[in-house]
Structure 1
Amino acid sequence: MTDTSTRQARIAWFERICGDLHERFVPLTDGEPASYIPELATVDPDRFAIAAVTTDGERVGVGDHDHAFTIQSISKLLLYGLALETHGRDHVLERVGVAPTGDSFNAIALDDDRNRAPNPMVNAGAIAITDLVVGATLDDRVEAVRSMYERYLGHRPEVDREVWTSERATGNRNRAIAYLMLSRGIIDDRVEQTLDLYFAQCSVLITADDLATIGATIANHGVHPVTGERVVRRDVTRDMLTVALTCGMYDYAGEWAYTVGIPAKSGVGGGIVGMIPGAGAIAVYSPRLDAFGNSVRGLRVFEELSDEFEMHVFDPDSPWRGTD
């Protein structure tokens, strides 16, 4: 077989694996869609997709892989990268640390010793990161965020206006976090504008295919797997992957690192993206969530894939080593 036919055979084989996993976990109906954001409570709970993109642009998609959903907290990882590129690591670390907390993602808690948010993957840290988005007006800052998404996706994403409105109307806990940080000098005084931007960044519509492309770009050290264009600096992706591994799965992050062992980020919209540096990314979408806010089916898919294919970054026999 030629190299091309061998690669195509491997992709077809992995697509069959994903198809089998999809079929196996379709009957799993544990969990419910997020209800604290009213618009998210109305989504079809039985949507289910698995998608993958390799660092050389090969794609796999099964189930509802082209169905649009809101990115929610997965946006935190991308905004963190934007902040690092715009302001530099030292400035960002003055506002947001990198330590896992063990607390829920919406905990009203700060790093009192350093007077900063604990990490960029919890809401406090994410709001502090969003505050760093440059722009004179809300529209300017929304466009800056959409332009960032466009570099990852290859197209300009839409914002789900209904979800954005719903998050504005119910986001009082995030307001409490933001005003606490204002009182401590962690964020600037345009609090309501920054919160509006935060709600907007979480309401961006993507598909599982999009999410796998985003993850593959980060796994490819910032180079888009299809276009070959640099989306984010190489050194920045190292920091993004590190916080994804240690903090990306809410207060389940420690368990995830132990059992699955790849950098990942989840969102309460039902998405999870897992990144294998130098190899590619896998995305799962299923809106039924567990008590931590992670997709129930998503967790099972990643657990199975990690175990079957030795994806854990510390597995001494991992076949993914040396693919960088």
Structure 2
Amino acid sequence: MPLPYTAKQLQAAVHTGFSVALKCSGGSNASYIPYLASVDPNLIAVTIVTVDGNTFAAGDSQYQFAIESISKVFTLALVMDQVGSPALRAKVGANPTGMPFNSVMALELAKGKPMSPLVNAGAISTASLVSGKTPDERWQKILATQSAFAGRDLVLSSEINQSEQTTNFHNRAIAWLLYSAGTCYSDPIEALDIYTRQCSTLISTTDLAVMGATLANKGKNPITGKQVIGAENVRHILAEMMMEGLYTASGDFAYTVGLPGKSGVGGGILAVAPGKLAIAGFSPPLDANGNSVRGQAAVKSIAEELKLNLFEA
């Protein structure tokens, strides 16, 4: 079924979103990871990729930034394919926490069971479920999954990984709490290492939009034509994104944008319009919730202009 937009309309929506984002101010780079603090805060990009493989971009769309927490979506997809959505839901959960993404309190209140695979506790638990005989084999499966979604070989940034591995003290505590509760399914330090690596790959907004368009296209990459994950799991992944994808602002994002989304503290943001397209934005300054200020503005503008809100009849 052809999309209800012309190429001219899609490119115009991207340029409008980019212009709206340029006018936004406020926020600051994530400071607790040295690499992220050093990224140029003036960088900004917006990209749309449709389910038929067309790309529309504005700004620094080829600049490569740290994927960070957006990686949680793709490890979730890998594990869901490996163990099935019922098993993953039973082990990791499928509910928003209502607390910050790195909350220890949320884990304690749930008696050690993560409530969502899109917060740090749940993401570490999910990484511990990746099958493989060695930690490196499990990591390579995660990297291969990210690459299959992007349609090209992604790479780990040793600089980002080093910056994260040497400052992830809070996540180390979470990993040991998971292990003590029986909800970390491998050695906790190995699981944390793999999780930290998955957050340290480099992507552009074009890569990110292709990754989102693969979800919009029932798990089939619209550029390569490869079926990356089982189509039956896409709806569960999108539901997780709608509930917890933008941390404590997930409800606000659903209310104002009406699309499944995922953000990362590297400044990236992704929104998926099932059956149609994906929107990716990037700008390093974050709001108090950890979401890109200008990225959110761009995504909201495009979703409104193209009438993508899933809750509109």
Smaller-chain TM-score bracket: over 0.9
Q: Deviation of residue 310 (structure 1)?
A: 2.1
1:320 counterpart residue number: none
Residue identity opposite 1:215 in structure 2:
G
Q: In structure 2, how many angstroms separate the alpha carbons of the residues matched to 1:25 and 1:146?
A: 31
Which ranges of structure 2 fall in alignment gaps of 5 or more residues? none
CA displacement 1:27-78 (0-9 Å, x = unmatched): 4331111111111100011110000110011110110001100100001111
Q: Which one of 203, 214, 218 corresponds to residue 215 of structure 2?
A: 218
1:250 aligns with 2:247: yes
Q: Which one of 252, 261, 264 corresponds to residue 261 of structure 2?
A: 264
1:157 aligns with 2:158: no
Work out whether residues 273 and 282 of structure 1, in 8 Å CA contact, stay in contact via their aligned partners in 2: yes
Q: Deviation of residue 190 (structure 1)?
A: 1.2
Q: In structure 1, how many angstroms separate the alpha carbons of the residues matched to 2:290 and 2:79?
A: 25
Which shifted more, 137-146 or 68-77? 137-146
Q: CA 1:112–1:292 in structure 2 vs 1: closer, same or farther (change >3 Å)?
A: closer
What is the TM-score of this pair, normalised by structure 2? 0.95
What is the TM-score of this pair, normalised by structure 1? 0.92
Work out whether residues 268 and 282 of structure 2, in 8 Å CA contact, stay in contact via their aligned partners in 1: yes
Q: Which one of 89, 94, 98 corresponds to residue 90 of structure 2?
A: 94
Q: In structure 1, how many angstroms separate the alpha carbons of the residues matched to 2:296 and 2:272?
A: 14
Q: In structure 1, how many angstroms separate the alpha carbons of the residues matched to 2:183 and 2:228?
A: 28
Which ranges of structure 1 fall in alignment gaps of 5 or more residues? 317-324
Q: Which one of 111, 118, 124 corresponds to residue 127 of structure 1?
A: 124
Task: Report runs of 4+ in structure 1 exceeding 6 Å deviation.
Answer: none
Task: Report matched runs for 1:128-277 at 5 Å.
Answer: 128-277=125-274
Structure number with bigger Rg: 1
Q: Which has the higher contact order (CA 8 A, sep 6+)?
A: 2
Q: In structure 1, how many angstroms separate the alpha carbons of the residues matched to 2:21 and 2:240?
A: 29
Task: Report the secondary structure of 1:188's partner residue.
Answer: coil
Work out whether residues 111 and 117 of structure 1, in 8 Å CA contact, stay in contact via their aligned partners in 2: no
2:25 counterpart residue number: 29
Number of paired residues? 312
Q: Deviation of residue 191 (structure 1)?
A: 1.3
1:17 counterpart residue number: 13
1:286 counterpart residue number: 283
Q: CA 1:33–1:113 in structure 2 vs 1: closer, same or farther (change >3 Å)?
A: closer
Q: Deviation of residue 153 (structure 1)?
A: 1.8
Work out whether residues 83 and 132 of structure 1, in 8 Å CA contact, stay in contact via their aligned partners in 2: yes
The root-mean-square deviation of aligned C-alpha atoms, in Å, is 1.9
Work out whether residues 94 and 116 of structure 1, in 8 Å CA contact, stay in contact via their aligned partners in 2: no
Task: Report the secondary structure of 2:312's partner residue.
Answer: coil
Work out whether residues 20 and 297 of structure 2, in 8 Å CA contact, stay in contact via their aligned partners in 1: no
Q: Which one of 21, 41, 45 corresponds to residue 45 of structure 1?
A: 41
1:74 aligns with 2:74: no
Task: Report the secondary structure of 1:265's partner residue.
Answer: strand
CA displacement 1:192-226 (0-9 Å, x = unmatched): 11111111000010100000000000011101112
Q: Deviation of residue 83 (structure 1)?
A: 0.8
Q: Deviation of residue 177 (structure 1)?
A: 0.7
Q: In structure 2, how many angstroms separate the alpha carbons of the residues matched to 1:134 and 1:96?
A: 16
Q: In structure 1, how many angstroms separate the alpha carbons of the residues matched to 2:126 and 2:34?
A: 25
CA displacement 1:4-31 (0-9 Å, x = unmatched): 9x99x92133213322332343243311
Work out whether residues 303 and 309 of structure 2, in 8 Å CA contact, stay in contact via their aligned partners in 1: yes
Q: In structure 2, how many angstroms separate the alpha carbons of the residues matched to 1:228 and 1:188?
A: 33
